[in-house]
Structure 1
């Protein structure tokens, strides 16, 4: 026989498994895969055979199961039916092993599939398939069978004769015994004499059961499962149902320090050998003296593999114990490898629907074609109950409503001294008391726990976007499987089950909104967003509402009509897009068209969408060279950051290759410096050094030249590097203290008008020179009044006009601001340009060159390399317009009802972002979201997305900062919190005791997040520099759910209490993260060290009684006290200690959850550094930031809920927490409009 290869391909032609039994080159393998797919896919499955001739005297034997083709290339003389039987047997084994096998099982368990394949085709039942030899073998087998039958007949005849003889002998013995008995009776006159033994029974019953007693219970460890063949005596014990494996979500980033055995001598570095920590505690607490001097030996950095293995050759299996035992496990599923009993060849064929594919998910998935059926309830109803990562709660009477937990009885507000600074952790079972009642802080919802639990779940599971309608928390890394509904990374609805009317929505008091982050970054393991090109005609769209083609549009009239899912208008299908439909109403080519199967796609748009011919992106760097910028090292760091952003670490001419340039291909860069004058630079590669032209006219500036202003960074690397390296020294002799910012921005707009682009501008002092000069508006004495509200917005006509021009011409602007000694920069005016154009402000209020150099450099790199493109300026007034956009920007959209919805249908949402990529392509990013409609508002409460609700409320509150006072906004936020919880308590919890605070299952942490919002710099009471308040306000307006969640409640990690395995990759290659700690000083241990990360700043807080050994393990042998540490250090040194490697790996992991802000450490030594005040501010569960503690806040909210239930809640109160939201649009209306 000749078996050349085995391929498993889906209908799109993607190869899911390839096994090569003959030598082929890589190019030949690629050609073979394509030829096989083109040969097999178009064949009629009903009227054409499963055998087809192939090249080189071979043929393809194939069989289709659901969406997969199982193909084998064999010799022309081989038996086709034998191979078909082997293929079917292989699929049956897969289905038995995985339990309803699907395509994902082949992708993510490829190593197991390879092992099964080897067992079936190399060590299984089918060994020889040559026709001629098989015929000879069959003839021989028939002869042997006939001989065996004859021998059996002879043996049976002999046995019958022997049985007859035995029967005759027995009859004779019985007759003799009867005669003897009659003689004895006659002699004794009785049946038998007592002194003689009783008569012996016949030989047929002369057996004694002398076996030892046995246990009647079966041995389940060795008992085979039903329908799984005979047991294998050599196989190890196994469970009846193998655990299904799902792909991990957060792939381990490359570069993690791997320690192997974390200790030099193979043992624990601590004195207690049984436990790594003395007395069961941390090795660095005061309870015991840790042993020092046992550094970990780091291994080489391991390169992380992707999720999809190369198809050319199977991977090695020797490292996985599950794979090593795979043959033994398969002994029970019919491979016939173990046991004495022969395998059962009479296998019952299964229905094809037993082998599921990706396109037809099980569970609560929609119909095959993914379209809602008319006149039927919603096909997309999400699973009832809590999130999928929560275990179901078992109650005597199972209810579909989530459990009304947690419950506790609050009392009066405690005194400030009771919660301000708890120096020790409360003992288990104790409660923090108040004047009238007791509230146990351990019983209230914990945000760290709500993050850690689903994070562990999604390490082993994917998130299917149609099967589960409760998205994972925003802070949890996960892999989304797009089933037609966009990933939550791109779009999040506040309610994934929408009330049927405005009145029903009003009962929940929740906003109906959508958080869009259209260019959100994807995680390793997720499929990239496909880019589709429909040529000059563009993608199909509805003629009435202009909606783009999507998976929820229906094809009628045999594929000639396209019914829009947004407006139900029947459109004619263009001829070039026509394809017939099958019996289910789905297009026959649906699986070959991503726009009909995926929720998020990119379309290349035709020229009619162009405002100007697309070109590569233009970057224009505006560099402040005033005395303040030079003296404080801001200019040096900024120039070095530009070089790193453009060329990475490469600095010499030998590295001048295309791979060394970090920006998109086709992009060009330009440089302008400014103080009280503007300096333009000719960067032409024809020049040896850059030529500078000075523009002293600030009233009517113009471009002195165009040729050489923007150049290719690779061609002009020598000129650009020389210029940026010499700029700090060049302007060190000039003493111009005042920058002229507005004229420089106007010149930059003139340079980019023709092409659009991105401006990256540095500023080190308040621009008080030239036209559009700014003045100090904040004297530090205005707060909590109308005068402060005016400082939060700009009324400067010059900056407003230039921002408008930038948007019109597709220009964005990022500012890097370094205030002199925390001075005033008027970010409300300067930042207005970035906020309007889609840019960002990077603010360094107390810039210090040694400490902030790394952070500034990383953020320049991010703003250059992480840029996606500029928005297209549209003529329609209803469309939003930005100058630029990147992956970190998110917007919130609110919806209102104009009538009652139909619960038989679904609610559809579509967003379309028209933008230009950095490489010059004009695209539309289209995202589609679907939600079910319910008549019961209680059902809707089960599918609330907490992160989306918080994001919408926060953005709405920021939008009102220029209209309402901060006091009014804080009061409105409090009232909104009470409204939501009181609405749930009143309408959906039944008859619960009035003294209990009942929280919605999916909004358990909502109260803490709202308290964090009130305590944020944007809204907090008391004095706060205007620049910092405005900066944080604009950050919140552009934050996505992940970034905002961390901002409102930071992640706190106890470094001194790390498990030895924390901070290292587990057996699956994923970093094991330690559990989070609640943000409260009551959770701070004596002598502890904590990482506090809120997505904007990362603090390393060190207790004054910290162990010296811990400091040495973390910072080096010479650092054994707090004063010995460098207060301006921004990163950890690379040491060979276990603790140092752990913390560096954790910090690298945390960087992945940040957006544009770079992660650098800032030390906060207790009693020494000013950053300790920032650490105290971030402990949001304590009483700080002019607001209550978490416990007191819940008591306050619960009191107002009780008043609302009793009908005694005051609607117009002058207190700080009064209801001032009646004029706060969206926070006190029946629904969010």
Structure 2
């Protein structure tokens, strides 16, 4: 079949002015303005000398910063002469990405050395070349401080949001194995808000920056997809005093017979097993994974087990009331569980399952031998719920597979046509707790109805308080103490509660979310869900299936320790604090992260401090393991060192947790004020302490370049659904606050500041497998290799000011995708993408694109590939629904009812453009102007 790629009319723009050759500029570390290489100054500012210490390559994938501007003219750009009233804009010269590694790489290449860029430089040399300025004590220079004027740098350079944190610069030979490239933790697992630690509490307080750790022990939903080294000989060396695990930053003493703890400085004996294997053959202890890798797992001996590892247990509590049956929840869930049985972790064939149907009664199912051995048992006493049988309710999945499959097939028919509108969730939870309390496991609840019967009964609350001062007390706090106290009881017996809520009416998410919050679970909310919409069914089914297939860790505890003088003071996330520094997880999810605030209680006298997080857990395949993460960070008494190494994404994560905490304990306005005050304090400190000379009040806002996205992120957070200053349905707000408090940083940043892609003018290679050019070592010729990675367009700023009225834009807010079709889009694009002859024939709202082959429509194929790539998430169960949004025009032939629905959808999509004004919120430019007035003169 012939290709449908067309030769569309090209826009007739005037020739752009010549773009300066990037090679004529040198780029300074962490965002210094590009200055001419010859002359050494721009705008009267001397060009700072970039350090040459080795660090990771930051801007991979961001070399072409001509965002939204293709290498060749797009076939979908509206011809200029068709709209003579429009004034074409000259394409801007491409902004150079800031790259702190450019100089180091260039210097190495010039010297003939092989460029080498570890994630963190554990020393002052790269490729054998010492860093200039290394002190007599071997401490290399830390990150340099560069200044940005926020008001002059608009629109903000959002490519910064995809960069790793400032590099951690350690002294030479900081690690016991200097050649190890993996001695300091990857920020995907373990990162700090400050990559230079103040050496005393007063200095930390003076900076107004938080000191906190972000811990994410698992980076993938499945164990096999992670590449974490495992010490499999059950030999675990720990400090006798502080109980810290041996790690890459200990010091060997007495000819390697003993090791000095890097946390408390105590000397410990090296275990004999470090020198010999099980057959008593000598081996090199420096090859052990715990001395080479920052993130490592130990297989634990029996001493680390209070009891043998328990089997995986799933108890499914399924709403069978009239609302659940009529909406299709009951049938959808049972079919999804049936189709996911092979995905449930069951390597040892020990996984157990149970099923409870809930309306005004509790419906248990007892399994006997054979397919006909399924017996339904009904308990109507919900005041004192009991188990109707001592056995046969919780059964082995593998041994009872045929009977379980039959139950799941027949399950919806048991409740067809029910008129029972009650839902006794509290009694069902207590019954499930009794069933599995001796083993532990998961209670997974699927509900489409507000719990309205028995213990934990809830009622509809006064939504008129939404958006008012008392909203938090009236709508966002738990309405019944049962849910928190029951969650604490569950945690004590290793039971996790997960919720999947699909009500079309009020469901009190704020109260119910306490169950997962204190049991290390998660609340999944699907407002107005119905099985009549195929996209709703797809989203719920995919997310439930991914949730069931996740390789969970069982009976887990997390402890984080630091060097002498540091204390873990506050903890944020879904878990329960069993003691002052021990976090309890009945099951450890793989799609959440946790934040721990650190206090400095003593003056830090050493040049480097250390942190270690350890998770003791049982795997779903029956092993007791300990995952240990280590991080070393230099200290300094200089405030400029601290600001130059601050991690803006981790800081935004910390302030998000603080804002959520404030919203729930005080009010939404107080949470918003906390965010604005935090930005103001940082700007005041920077102006007072780090800007030399007297600066007049009219000077633009100054901030260190590595923090230039922090004001944008915290401003965007004030416009988020969870903290928005307007009337918001309380269930939606509570669900949003729950997500803000549990999402890992990569997903959280996109949740706060959505990614926007311009599709109508994307480069030709976008939407196709990425092509990598490499040199053949034998022939010396270049070869092009096609990868499986789909190339995405560069994100553009979240502002409609940069949009074309004939454009096509994709918005990704981490939970939904919006495909915005502008009102004046060219007909050829509509035909190629949707197969429609008119803009008004395309389906809007929650839908999917028609599927054309690449021969039929290359553009349709590319856009679907891009959407598919964005939906692929190895570390999250979220499936993102696609909403097609018609941007509208002045002469659209649409009736009033359709206009109402379209207008609501447009407002929802436009709320993702957080840099713009809305009817209740200011834009980012106005926000900066307000900040300017708040910064002390």
Fold-level similarity (TM above 0.5): yes
Alignment-derived partner of residue 1188 in structure 1: 922
Say which structure is richer in strand: 2
Alignment counterpart, residue 1173 of structure 1, candidates 887, 907, 910: 907
Counterpart check, 1:826 vs 2:536: no
Alignment-derived partner of residue 401 in structure 1: 145
Gaps of 5+ in 2: 1-55, 62-69, 83-112, 129-134, 173-179, 559-577, 773-786, 889-898
Deviation at 1:526, TM superposition (A): 8.8
Report the structure number with the largest CA radius of gyration. Answer: 1
Alignment counterpart, residue 566 of structure 1, candidates 244, 263, 283: 263
- Taking the aligned partners of 2:690 and 2:442, their CA distance within structure 1 comes to 51
Deviation at 1:1063, TM superposition (A): 1.0
Instruction: Give the 3 Å change call, closer, same or farther, for CA 1132–911 of structure 1 in structure 2.
Output: farther
Counterpart check, 1:644 vs 2:387: no
Q: TM-score, normalised by structure 1?
A: 0.59
- Taking the aligned partners of 2:59 and 2:930, their CA distance within structure 1 comes to 42
Deviation at 1:835, TM superposition (A): 0.9
Contact 1:559 1:579 in 2 (8 A): no
Deviation at 1:947, TM superposition (A): 0.8
Deviation at 1:578, TM superposition (A): 5.4
Contact 2:607 2:636 in 1 (8 A): no
Question: Secondary structure of 2:468's match?
Answer: coil
- Taking the aligned partners of 2:117 and 2:518, their CA distance within structure 1 comes to 46
Counterpart check, 1:1030 vs 2:748: no
Deviation at 1:620, TM superposition (A): 1.4
Alignment-derived partner of residue 813 in structure 2: 1094
Deviation at 1:490, TM superposition (A): 0.6
Alignment-derived partner of residue 1139 in structure 1: 859
Alignment-derived partner of residue 727 in structure 1: 411
Contact 2:722 2:737 in 1 (8 A): yes
Question: Secondary structure of 2:545's match?
Answer: helix
Equivalent positions of 1:248-263 (< 5 A) are none
Larger displacement relative to structure 2 (988-997 or 1014-1023):
988-997
Alignment-derived partner of residue 609 in structure 1: 304
Question: Secondary structure of 2:737's match?
Answer: helix
Alignment counterpart, residue 802 of structure 1, candidates 480, 486, 507: 486
Say which structure is richer in helix: 1
Deviation at 1:726, TM superposition (A): 2.6
Equivalent positions of 1:18-417 (< 5 A) are 280-283=73-76, 285=78, 364=124, 377=137, 384-385=142-143, 400-402=144-146, 404-406=147-149, 408=151
Alignment counterpart, residue 847 of structure 1, candidates 515, 526, 529: 529
Alignment-derived partner of residue 301 in structure 1: none
- Taking the aligned partners of 2:119 and 2:819, their CA distance within structure 1 comes to 48
Deviation at 1:522, TM superposition (A): 9.0
Equivalent positions of 1:456-605 (< 5 A) are 483-521=182-220, 528-535=227-234, 539-577=236-274, 589-605=284-300
Alignment-derived partner of residue 923 in structure 1: 625
Alignment counterpart, residue 1156 of structure 1, candidates 877, 880, 891: 877
Instruction: Give the 3 Å change call, closer, same or farther, for CA 992–637 of structure 1 in structure 2.
Output: farther
1:1110-1143 Cα offsets, whole Å, 9 max, x none, are 233223x356433442644246535442112211
Instruction: Give the 3 Å change call, closer, same or farther, for CA 669–482 of structure 1 in structure 2.
Output: farther
Instruction: Give the 3 Å change call, closer, same or farther, for CA 835–1089 of structure 1 in structure 2.
Output: same
Contact 1:678 1:744 in 2 (8 A): yes
- Taking the aligned partners of 1:685 and 1:1185, their CA distance within structure 2 comes to 64
Q: Aligned pair count?
A: 773
Alignment-derived partner of residue 812 in structure 1: 496
Contact 1:626 1:738 in 2 (8 A): yes
1:408-427 Cα offsets, whole Å, 9 max, x none, are 46xxxxxxxxxxxxxxxxxx
Equivalent positions of 1:724-1123 (< 5 A) are 724-786=408-470, 788-794=472-478, 796-820=480-504, 823-849=505-531, 850=533, 851-872=535-556, 876=579, 878-902=581-605, 904-991=606-693, 993-994=695-696, 995-1068=699-772, 1069=787, 1070-1115=789-834, 1117-1118=835-836, 1120-1123=838-841
Contact 2:74 2:762 in 1 (8 A): no
Contact 1:1015 1:1185 in 2 (8 A): no
Instruction: Give the 3 Å change call, closer, same or farther, for CA 885–466 of structure 1 in structure 2.
Output: farther
Instruction: Give the 3 Å change call, closer, same or farther, for CA 567–816 of structure 1 in structure 2.
Output: same
Contact 2:811 2:818 in 1 (8 A): yes
- Taking the aligned partners of 1:1112 and 1:741, their CA distance within structure 2 comes to 50
Question: Secondary structure of 1:912's match?
Answer: strand
Alignment-derived partner of residue 445 in structure 1: 156
- Taking the aligned partners of 1:714 and 1:1111, their CA distance within structure 2 comes to 51
- Taking the aligned partners of 2:771 and 2:57, their CA distance within structure 1 comes to 14
- Taking the aligned partners of 2:827 and 2:119, their CA distance within structure 1 comes to 59
Contact 1:778 1:824 in 2 (8 A): no
- Taking the aligned partners of 2:114 and 2:762, their CA distance within structure 1 comes to 46
Deviation at 1:246, TM superposition (A): 9.6
1:293-335 Cα offsets, whole Å, 9 max, x none, are xxxxxxxxxxxxxxxxxxxxxxxxxxxxxxxxxxxxxxxxxxx
Contact 1:682 1:691 in 2 (8 A): yes
Larger displacement relative to structure 2 (510-519 or 702-711):
702-711
Contact 2:539 2:880 in 1 (8 A): yes
Contact 2:194 2:642 in 1 (8 A): yes
* RMSD after superposition: 3.5
Alignment-derived partner of residue 933 in structure 2: 1199
Q: TM-score, normalised by structure 2?
A: 0.76
- Taking the aligned partners of 1:799 and 1:939, their CA distance within structure 2 comes to 46
- Taking the aligned partners of 2:579 and 2:358, their CA distance within structure 1 comes to 37
- Taking the aligned partners of 1:1023 and 1:354, their CA distance within structure 2 comes to 59
- Taking the aligned partners of 1:980 and 1:357, their CA distance within structure 2 comes to 31
- Taking the aligned partners of 1:468 and 1:1174, their CA distance within structure 2 comes to 50
Deviation at 1:842, TM superposition (A): 1.0
**Higher RCO (CA < 8 A, seq sep 6+):** 2
Question: Secondary structure of 1:1187's match?
Answer: coil
1:907-943 Cα offsets, whole Å, 9 max, x none, are 1001111222222322221110110011211012111
Question: Secondary structure of 2:665's match?
Answer: coil
- Taking the aligned partners of 1:732 and 1:520, their CA distance within structure 2 comes to 42
Counterpart check, 1:635 vs 2:346: no
- Taking the aligned partners of 1:933 and 1:872, their CA distance within structure 2 comes to 32
- Taking the aligned partners of 2:438 and 2:211, their CA distance within structure 1 comes to 41
- Taking the aligned partners of 1:918 and 1:630, their CA distance within structure 2 comes to 33
- Taking the aligned partners of 1:355 and 1:443, their CA distance within structure 2 comes to 34
Contact 1:1091 1:1099 in 2 (8 A): yes
Contact 1:672 1:678 in 2 (8 A): yes
Deviation at 1:540, TM superposition (A): 1.3
Alignment counterpart, residue 681 of structure 1, candidates 365, 381, 396: 365
Instruction: Give the 3 Å change call, closer, same or farther, for CA 1111–1028 of structure 1 in structure 2.
Output: same
